[in-house]
Homo-oligomer: A and B are copies of this chain.
């Protein structure tokens, strides 16, 4: 089995919340489940630890990383910076076809908003942000963005959304699309920053801090 595949499968297990934050990662069990020996599994865990999804405790095994409020704030700040950069670069490089695709995704997302379908809305929202990053045509940036968003993802999509906040988010997305269509890099960068800052306030205000109770909620959601 390819090494990269093991990393991907464990990452998926962690992102699904199947192993909740802070929980021990059972080496032997995972070996049996993935039908591999400990060597490739441990290699994968080291890689995931470097990514920040797993923490290794010497002689005590590995655990799914548990994020503090501070970690969350830090991750959001970086995510903001990366998206702002992606927005600027995207405006320089994006093709009309790509803008068209994003506009379509935007319209669909707005439809989900009108229907009140939060899950589908989030899915569309994520697709747009990822499309902007992709349009920046910078694999290094895309890689870091993927890594950072993976770490916040769980919290990002489980916060309660008030009608006011939701309406504001949609409004901001209108502005995002608009700036993109005008290829206004500075403007887009600015809007994305504000958008992410609001998102962060939302998440942190919801009293993030991964607790056992929270973990249960995350697993169900």
Identify the A interface with B (CB < 8 A).
2-3, 39, 42-44, 46-47, 49-52, 56, 58, 71, 74-75, 77-78, 80-82, 84-85, 89, 138-141, 143-144, 148
The A interface, classified by DSSP as helix, strand, loop or mixed, is helix
Minimum-distance CB pairs A-B, first 7: A81-B85, A74-B140, A74-B138, A47-B50, A43-B46, A78-B140, A78-B141
Contact indicator A81/B3 (Cβ below 8 Å) = no
User: Which residue on B lies nearest to A139, using beta carbons?
Assistant: B74
| Docked CA distance A58–B44 (Å) | 16
Contact indicator B74/A141 (Cβ below 8 Å) = yes
| Docked CA distance A140–B148 (Å) | 9
| Docked CA distance A206–B52 (Å) | 36
